[in-house]
Chains A and B, each alone.
Chain A
Amino acid sequence: MRFRYQSGDEIRTVDLVKTSTGYRASMNGQDWPVVVVRNEPGELTMMLGDEPLTIQWAADGMRRWIFNRGKTFMLTATTFIPSERKGRREREQAHAGERMILAPMPGHVRAIQVAEGDGVAKGQTLILLEAMKMEIRIQAPRAGRLKRLLVQKGVSVERDQVLCEIE
């Protein structure tokens, strides 16, 4: 069976084929015999070639969290075919990041220091958020003009909610 996992902007494929003793796993032109020696809820031990490896794991929707020896991996199971859309997606993302200012974490809008139509300088503080007892300054990533303000003083915002738009 073929599986695809995404991390950041990259997607990798791994193939798992059942054998008489376990599986044959292949990725990046390499392959290994794999035997599952212990499988408990949230914990799995495999022999990857000659190496015994125990992983702690959890799944959350499409996310796969995997832990081994101080390293935590978060992969997202995906059906994206990498070559198809990657270029365009990256362009869209880069463009949007310059334009839309998002809340880095959930919190409350404590103060708004700009108005729609104002010119803004790079690094200028636009909005003060309060989250987890801290004051977080939302600053302009580049110079421009504040096109739209999408929040008011006192409202709660979710992580990644659009706060304002710069053009």
Chain B
Amino acid sequence: MDKIHKVLVANRGEIAVRIMRACRELGIHTVAVYSDAEQGSFHVRSADEACFLGPAAPSESYLSIERVLEAARTTHADAIHPGYGFLSENADFAQAVREKGLIFIGPRPEAIRAMGDKVEARARMQARGVPTVPGYQESNEDAALERAADKIGYPVLVKAAAGGGGKAMRVVPGREELLEALGAARREARHAFGDERLFLEKYIEKGRHIEFQVLADEHGKTLHLFERECSIQRRHQKIIEETPSPLLNAEMRAKMGAAAVAAAEAVGYVNAGTVEFIVDPAEREFYFLEMNTRLQVEHPITEMTTGLDLVKWQIRIADGQALPFRQAELAQRGHAIECRVYAEDPANRFLPSTGCLLRVVGPRGPGIRLDSGYETGDEVTVYYDPLVAKLIAHAETRDEAVHRMRAALQDYCVLGVTTNVEFLDAVLSHPEFNAGQATTTFVEEEFGAWQPNKEAFTPLALVGAALIDTLTPAVKSAEEEIGGKGNRFDPWRRNDTFRIGAK
């Protein structure tokens, strides 16, 4: 590298670990930053140096521009990688980094600003001829929005101008629910982004979410690295992604790829970014949704099929290097799927679960990649996103990739907190998914009442537990644990899953 010798990773969890791995391979030193809640966490252990930021609340640590810049100054880092989330799409941060004479590994602040304002981005795309979803962005008055919604036709989607990641987004089925949805979305938008402007989009009910990875250098070359299909979502958040998309043919792929490149060029984009489209499968029409001006959670599936390391290219581009390949030289090889493993309970409205990961054993094997943010003994806290890891399977065909993923999920042991691993396996076994026809409403429709196999008293589990209690002296016997703790029938002293009010 010419200019980059030490990178401060302004993030946590799996993405910080993944970025540090790329840095190590490039011979670049890494600095981790951490909050009170994450001293000694996996991303800290993965770095060459670590710098304390502040209290656990993100606003006082990972979201504090001042503290991150101070950490870069004291550790003499020459570049900052923002990862995803936190400050990654904050134009003021990107600008402040540059003003301190440091390299921001990502796009220019102007491009972040233009794409971050969804209303402005829509206007810019329309000017450039990139198709956008029919919608309304001209006013924020309730009355105007109500009139516009009538014109667009229900169901309508309420979105935040500063939004992203499914936050402050509401699907409104009819006129009666619009005002309440606007109120809730405004509250959430003000809280999450400090900006309560909203806009409306026609809700494409059986839509497919397909995005294109772009890579642009500082020398005027913009390429796309093909698509990722992210239709499998719960509460507007992706849980399974794959590439290639089973919906696209070569012609449509070329058209959408060209539109993605045009979208990036419209804002002078540099570095890695993702252009999101919604596709109406019935009419095979695609519409620009938004551009994510950062590395995407699901970037590994593109890496598996194109053979390119996106994080390394981000760093090389930020270092001033030119992309040495042409669009025609890029190809998709095989099929890759990613599953997002969350500490959450799919049987209870996907509510996050927290606690210590008592034991983690990851799957291994040909074509399996695990990007994990936690190891045995680490704590999943309430402060941050409950993403534990991303499991990626790569194989020759879609069918083989699905089977490879299912086998890997069944080998993935996470003890101590409830995860969605069994749920992911159930989704992958569904005929609609296997036919490649699942849309963004698939999970809600097919798995709304999903329950795990609750059969706890199998011979394996009972005999296993009894053997553990016999062979492991460190495991306390039942008598010992309950004795000394007062009334053993006191429900508040019980150490099991008993919950008042739980169904």
- CA distance in complex: A90, B423 (Å): 29
B461 within 8 A of A: yes
**A114 within 8 Å of B (CB atoms):** no
**Contact B478–A77 (Cβ < 8 Å):** yes
Complex contacts, B187 vs chain A, CB 8 Å: 135
The answer to whether residues A102 and B465 also contact, given A68-B460, A70-B422 and a CB cut-off of 8 A, is: no
In the assembled complex, the Cα of A52 lies from the Cα of B386 at a distance in Å of 35
B351 to chain A, nearest CB (A): 5
Contacts of B474 in A (CB 8 A): 59
Q: Which B residue sits closest to A30, measured CB to CB?
A: B459
B352, A8: Cβ atoms under 8 Å?
A: no
User: Within 8 Å CB of B45, what residues of A?
Assistant: none
Q: Which of B184, B191, B385, B495 contacts A62 (CB 8 A)?
A: B495
Contact with A along B457-469 (1 / 0, CB 8 A): 1111111111111
Residues of chain B in range 381-429 having any CB-CB distance to chain A below 8 Å: 382, 384-386, 409-416, 421-422, 425
Q: Which residues of chain A have C-beta atoms less than 8 A from B206's C-beta?
A: none
- Asked whether A141 lies within 8 Å of B501 as measured between CB atoms, the reply is yes
Q: Which of A1-53 contact B (CB under 8 A)?
A: 1, 3-8, 10, 12, 14, 16, 23, 25, 27, 30, 32, 34, 36, 39, 42-44, 46, 48, 53
> Which A residues are CB-close (under 8 A) to B461?
66, 73, 75
Report if B472 contacts A (CB, 8 A): yes
From B359, B465, B466, A56 is in contact (CB under 8 Å) with B359
**Contact of A153 with B by CB under 8 A:** no
Contact A102 B499 (CB under 8 A): yes
- In chain A between 53 and 98, which residues have their CB closer than 8 angstroms to a CB of chain B? 53, 55-79, 85, 92-93, 96-97
State whether B488 touches A59 (Cβ < 8 A): no
Query: Which chain A residue shows the least CB distance to B343?
Result: A132
Q: Is A53 a contact of B382 with CB atoms below 8 Å?
A: no
Are A56 and B361 in contact, CB atoms less than 8 angstroms apart? yes
Tell whether B74 is near chain A: CB-to-CB under 8 Å. no
Q: Cβ of B467 and Cβ of A132 under 8 Å apart?
A: no
Q: Which residue from A25, A60, A78 sits with its C-beta under 8 Å from B463?
A: A25
> How far is B188's CA from A79's CA once the two chains are assembled, in angstroms?
47
* A27 with B462, Cβ < 8 A, contacts A7-B456, A65-B416, A70-B422 known: yes
Whether a CB of chain B sits under 8 angstroms from the CB of A151 is: no
A35 nearest CB across to chain B (Å): 10
Q: Determine whether A122 belongs to the interface, using a CB cutoff of 8 Å to chain B.
A: no
Cβ of B26 under 8 Å from chain A: no
Question: B352 touches which one: A12, A42, A76, A131 (CB < 8 A)?
Answer: A131
A105 touches B382 (CB 8 A): yes
The reply to whether B167 and A133 contact each other, CB–CB distance below 8 Å, is yes
**Which residues of B have CB within 8 Å of A25?**
459, 463, 466
- Known A66-B461, A132-B385: A106·B354 in contact at CB below 8 Å: yes
Chain A residues whose CB sits within 8 angstroms of the CB of B459 once the complex forms: 25, 27, 30, 32, 48
Asked if A126 is at the interface (CB within 8 A of a chain B CB), the reply is: no
Q: Does B348 contact A (CB under 8 A)?
A: yes
B475 in contact (CB, < 8 A): yes
Task: Kindly identify which residue among A5, A16, A59, A106 contacts B467, using a CB–CB cutoff of 8 Å.
Answer: A16
Q: When each residue 83-127 of chain A gets 1 if its CB lies under 8 Å from chain B and 0 otherwise, what string results?
A: 001000000110011001110111100100000000000000000
Q: Which residues of A contact B191 (CB under 8 A)?
A: 110, 130
Give the complex CA separation of A79 and B348 in angstroms: 29
Q: Does A167 contact B (CB under 8 A)?
A: no
Interface flag for B481 (CB, 8 Å): yes
Judge whether B471 is part of the interface by a CB distance below 8 angstroms.
yes
Contact A14 B500, beta carbon cutoff 8 Å: no
Q: Could you say which residues of chain B place their CB within 8 Å of the CB of A58?
A: 358-359, 415-416
CA distance A68 to B488 in the complex (A): 31
Look across to chain A and name the residue whose beta carbon is closest to the beta carbon of B502. A97
Report the separation of the CA atoms of residues A7 and B465 in the bound assembly, to the nearest whole angstrom: 12
Q: Name the distance in Å between B454's Cβ and chain A's nearest Cβ.
A: 7
A residues in contact with B495, CB < 8 Å: 61-63, 76
**Contact in complex: A59, B409 (CB < 8 Å):** no
Q: Which residue of B lies closest to A65 (CB)?
A: B415
Return chain A residues, CB-CB under 8 Å to B356: 60
CB distance from B59 to the nearest CB of A (A): 11
Contact of B460 among A3, A48, A102 (CB under 8 A): A48
| Contact between B467 and A34, CB atoms less than 8 A apart | yes
Tell yes or no: B179 within 8 A of A by CB: no
A105: nearest residue on chain B (CB-CB)? B351
Q: B176 near A: Cβ within 8 Å?
A: no
Chain A nearest Cβ from B92, distance in angstroms: 20
Q: How far is the CA of A57 from the CA of B361 in the complex (A)?
A: 10
For chain B, residues 269 to 317, give those with C-beta under 8 angstroms from any C-beta of chain A: none
Contacts of A7 in B (CB 8 A): 456-457
Contacting residue for A67 out of B415, B457, B467, CB 8 A: B415
B470: chain A residues within 8 A (beta carbon): 1, 16, 23
Contact assessment for A74 and B500 in the assembled complex, using a CB-CB cutoff below 8 Å: no
CB-defined contacts of B466 to chain A, threshold 8 Å: 1, 3, 14, 16, 25
Can you give 15 contacting A-B residue pairs, CB < 8 Å? Answer: A1-B466, A3-B469, A7-B456, A16-B470, A34-B467, A39-B471, A42-B359, A61-B495, A62-B478, A71-B453, A77-B465, A92-B491, A93-B498, A110-B191, A132-B386
Nearest 5 Cβ contacts at the A-B interface: A70-B410, A58-B358, A7-B456, A65-B415, A76-B496
* Interface contacts beyond A12-B457, A55-B464, A76-B496: sample of 18 additional A-B pairs, CB < 8 Å, sorted by A: A14-B466, A32-B463, A53-B460, A57-B415, A58-B358, A59-B475, A60-B356, A62-B482, A62-B495, A63-B495, A63-B496, A70-B412, A76-B495, A100-B500, A102-B499, A104-B348, A132-B382, A159-B354
